[in-house]
Amino acid sequence: MRSKVSNTVQTESSIAAETEVQTPQRQSFKQTLMGWLQLDSFGGRLFWMIMVGALTGVGGMAFLFSEMVKYQAEDQVRSTLDGQVNAIASVTEAAETLANSLGISATTLHERQAQYADTYRELTLQLFERRPQFVVGLGLGQRENGLIVDQSWLFPYYWVDAAENESTPSQTSIRYEDFADNEGEFYPDGDRYRDYFLPQTSVWTEPYQTDINQLLTYYVPLFASDGRWLGTTLVDVDSQYLSDLLDQPVFRQMGNFTLLTRSGQIIADPANPENNLKSYNDIPKLQAIWPQVSLNDTGFLEGETGYWAYANVPDQDWVVIGYVPYAAVFNRIALITSAATALMIALLSTAIVLAIRSLNRRLRPVLNQCNQLAKTDSTLLAQWDTQDELNQLSLAFFNMLEQLNLREETIRRHEREIQKETLHADQVSERFTELTALLDQLASEQQTLARKIQQRMTNVTDDAQSLDIQVDAINTLGRALDGDLRRIPTHSTEILTLVEQQVESLNNVLAKDAALTNTKQLKALVNHLSNNIVTLKAIERRWPDIEGLQKQTGKITQTSQVALSESRSMLDTVQAIGPMLSKIEQISTRLYQQARAFDVES
């Protein structure tokens, strides 16, 4: 149980920690987004410029589409209006035809001397029974002694009792009334006779209200063949039928039609059935445009809340007006435009936000460096915080450009100094070239001299080796001579003669070998030996001592050994000089190559 509680606490703490982590991130994102949308930011300016341009384009397209829809709506409204006008005209034509038919039939009966009132009543009833649906009354009223000569007044009138609410009037719903029976209304005494009978003209009355409904009446005068006025027929039309006929939308299930007389009295208004027997002044929207309506023509007007189309009913003083609210015309355009605008804003916002984020990621390192540059420049720092990213970049760029110009001037100054130094370096280079040539010549001479030294050393080595051989021979000869001297008797002439012969042989050897002749010590030794022989001869004559001769021979041997050791030392010296000459040649070669490389670089 405790583990479950601890796990729950840990889970809640982790969720709280994640929420705390997410909240600053969301706040940072909101702050960044709000920063982009501000006009002092490049992203905000870019966003609003693109959005304003896009919205302007969408608005222009919406305006064009609205104009197109307006023209389409005008054509459709005019077409619908023409249909309503034709429907109203068909009603009036049918009513007028019925009234004319009754008048013609009554005139015919009069011409045939029909003098019975029942005949005219039956005629009126038969025509009323075959009436159109919208006809609710039919009557025939004669002038005094008009149709029936023997009867002063006649006015049979049939009408439908609408109180029974029958959809299909039957014979029982037809009511009859005789306005000439002196009971109730006696028509010669009424306004009807004075206003519509006596003028002897065909006329539609203004709408009027009865106890049951609102009616329109059409009066047609009857004339005999001689032109004498016989009376008048009338047809009552239910204006509710006209209202039902006009009760349909004008455009896209919106709008309404209104039927008015030329004087502006409302005949039928399906939208406001309570406005019976009222005029256009009782409709505020219609009151504003009524002065612009031409009662002799058709037209299309723009009101404050919608469009108004009007047309006259042929051969009538009536006008049918159709009203279409702007919403019916532009709601669909507004919906499409709003959806397209919302989609466009969403797509453009996403694209712009991504583009700005990508641009900021690329500009941020540059701006950071520029910001560091601004912190080091007091003039730039004063303008930095009031500018957007591009202006900051522009300020930093021109500041760096100014610094580059200053540095370029410094570089030019250094270039002039470098040119001077280069000229001096060229002079030094020329001198160094001369030195290099001299070093080249000296190195060549040194190489030649080294080769000669090496050749001489080779020759000296060979001579030293030959000398070594000869000295070995002399040593051998000395040792042999010493032995012989030891064996010869003292003051022996034969021995002296033998020594003299050996000395001569040595002189011959020295004469033959030029290398041994060149050795000063050897020459001195030979000369010393010759002098000793001469001395021995002199002594021989005076009987010299043999022991002295032996001593002299020992000295010759010692001297030859010294010469041999000195020749070997000279050979060692020559062999030691060889590597030193090789090193000297290598050093001179390197010095020459470095001089050449420096000459090429300079």
Q: What is the pLDDT of residues 40-66, one digit of tens each?
A: 566 666 677 777 777 787 777 777 777
98-152 tens-digit pLDDT: 999 999 999 999 999 888 999 999 999 999 999 998 999 999 999 999 999 999 9
Confirm whether 24 is domain-assigned.
yes
Residues 141 and 269 in one domain: yes
Whether the pLDDT of residue 242 is over 70: the answer is: yes
Three-class secondary structure of residue 152 per DSSP: coil
* Closest by Cα among 333, 291, 327, 336 to 307: 327
Taking a C-beta distance cutoff of 8 angstroms, is the pair 177, 168 a contact? no
Round the CA-based radius of gyration of the chain to a whole number and report it: 75
Confirm whether 438 is domain-assigned.
no
**In terms of pLDDT, which residue wins out, 184 or 253?**
253
Q: What tokens were used for 214?
A: 């609102």
**CA 280, chain centre distance (Å):** 58
pLDDT of 321 reads 92
Average pLDDT over the chain, rounded to an integer: 76
Residues 180 and 250 in one domain: yes
Distance between CA atoms of 359 and 43, rounded to whole angstroms? 9
Residues 13 and 131 in one domain: no
Whether the pLDDT of residue 489 is over 90: the answer is: no
pLDDT of 12 reads 45
Residues 18 and 144 in one domain: no
pLDDT of 3 reads 45
Distance between CA atoms of 367 and 381, rounded to whole angstroms? 13
Residues 30 and 101 in one domain: no
Distance between CA atoms of 572 and 460, rounded to whole angstroms? 11
pLDDT of 233 reads 96
Whether the pLDDT of residue 556 is over 50: the answer is: yes
411-425 tens-digit pLDDT: 988 888 888 888 887
Distance between CA atoms of 307 and 305, rounded to whole angstroms? 7
* Closest by Cα among 337, 257, 326, 260 to 293: 260
Distance between CA atoms of 232 and 227, rounded to whole angstroms? 14
Q: What tokens were used for 389?
A: 């990213």
pLDDT of 490 reads 52
pLDDT of 7 reads 47
Domain around 452: 445-601
Average pLDDT over residues 373-379: 59
Q: Which of 71-80, 97-106, 438-447 is the least confident region? A: 438-447
Confirm whether 385 is domain-assigned.
no
Q: Identify any residues that bridge with 306 across adjacent strands, giving them in sequence order.
A: 325
Q: What tokens were used for 176?
A: 């009859």
pLDDT of 549 reads 58
Residues 30 and 151 in one domain: no
Whether the pLDDT of residue 241 is over 50: the answer is: yes
Instruction: Report the CATH number at residue 193.
Output: 3.30.450.20
pLDDT of 2 reads 41
Confirm whether 589 is domain-assigned.
yes
Whether the pLDDT of residue 537 is over 50: the answer is: yes
Average pLDDT over residues 57-77: 78
Q: What tokens were used for 448?
A: 């030649």
Task: Kindly indicate the confidence band of residue 88, based on its pLDDT and cuts at 50, 70 and 90.
Answer: very high
Whether the pLDDT of residue 435 is over 90: the answer is: no
Distance between CA atoms of 555 and 463, rounded to whole angstroms? 24
Taking a C-beta distance cutoff of 8 angstroms, is the pair 225, 104 a contact? no
Residues 5 and 111 in one domain: no
Q: Which of 9-18, 162-171, 263-272, 354-363 is the least confident region? A: 9-18
Whether the pLDDT of residue 33 is over 60: the answer is: no
pLDDT of 388 reads 60
Whether the pLDDT of residue 235 is over 90: the answer is: yes
**In terms of pLDDT, which residue wins out, 157 or 335?**
157
Confirm whether 363 is domain-assigned.
no
Confirm whether 9 is domain-assigned.
yes
pLDDT of 27 reads 52
Distance between CA atoms of 585 and 334, rounded to whole angstroms? 102
For every residue of 361-422, which 3-state class applies, written as one string? Answer: HHHHHHHHHHHHHHHCCHHHHHHHCCCCHHHHHHHHHHHHHHHHHHHHHHHHHHHHHHHHHH
Residues 452 and 575 in one domain: yes
Residues 23 and 163 in one domain: no
Residues 120 and 32 in one domain: no
pLDDT of 19 reads 43
**CA 23, chain centre distance (Å):** 31
Tally of domains within the chain: 3
Whether the pLDDT of residue 536 is over 70: the answer is: no
Whether the pLDDT of residue 9 is over 50: the answer is: no
Whether the pLDDT of residue 509 is over 80: the answer is: no
Task: Kindly indicate the confidence band of residue 469, based on its pLDDT and cuts at 50, 70 and 90.
Answer: confident
Determine phi and psi for 252, rounding to 5 degrees.
55, 50
Percent of the chain at pLDDT exceeding 90: 22
Angle (deg, nearest 10), helices 2-37 and 326-375: 90
Q: Which of 325, 351, 376 is the last residue of a domain?
A: 325
pLDDT of 595 reads 64
**In terms of pLDDT, which residue wins out, 211 or 192?**
192
For every residue of 244-308, which 3-state class applies, written as one string? Answer: HHHCCCCECCECEEEEEECCCEEEECCCCHHHCCCEHHHCHHHHHHHHHCCCCCCEEEECCCEEE
Residues 23 and 155 in one domain: no
pLDDT of 176 reads 92
Q: How far is CA 282 from CA 51, 265, 278, 312, in A?
A: 46, 10, 6, 21
Residues 18 and 152 in one domain: no
Angle (deg, nearest 10), helices 389-487 and 520-541: 10
pLDDT of 128 reads 94
Q: Which of 325, 346, 379 is the last residue of a domain?
A: 325
Task: Kindly indicate the confidence band of residue 232, based on its pLDDT and cuts at 50, 70 and 90.
Answer: very high
Q: Which of 301, 325, 349 is the last residue of a domain?
A: 325
Confirm whether 425 is domain-assigned.
no
Confirm whether 70 is domain-assigned.
no
Distance between CA atoms of 363 and 407, rounded to whole angstroms? 25
158: number of Cβ within 10 Å: 23
DSSP state, residue 166: -
pLDDT of 578 reads 67
pLDDT of 14 reads 47
Indicate yes or no: pTM above 0.85.
Answer: no
